Structure 1
Amino acid sequence: MKVFILIFQKPLKIKAYSSLVALLEDNDISVIGASKSKLEKHNFNQFDYVNSHVIISKKETQSTGDIRRKNNLNQL
């Protein structure tokens, strides 16, 4: 499952969302410091969105099974 992580830099505050739409609906664009269009066009698969107000990152959640498979592959 992919999640969007929103990190406010000052004061430090972290929120997680299941979609970019949810992130945008929950936060005022002027507080984020980026337009809806800019964030929708941003390539989160290659790098995080960073400005002086926030960091927005798209990450893949990991289950216990994912960690165990990764650890088993590293032991081989």
Structure 2
Amino acid sequence: MTGRTNSINSIIIVGGGASGVVLAAHLLKSPNPDLRVTLIEKRPHFGQGIAYSALLSAHVLNVGAAGMSAYADDPGN
């Protein structure tokens, strides 16, 4: 038997809200250059969900912008 490893080369993310976009960004930082990430979203823009697309000021986030970094090692992003 050979030392063959299985790897995932294609991932589809359903939902292009903030969480889907952050997941895609993390996956695309992968050391696997063959990794293909497809993000599917029914809305016309990625990265928006209720918290980021609401027009009502009553929809607020419970964390300040400085506490919402997508990357633990890059708090200013």
TM-score by length of 2: 0.22
Higher RCO (C-alpha under 8 Å, 6+ residues apart):
1
Which has the larger share of helix? 1
Which has the larger share of strand? 1
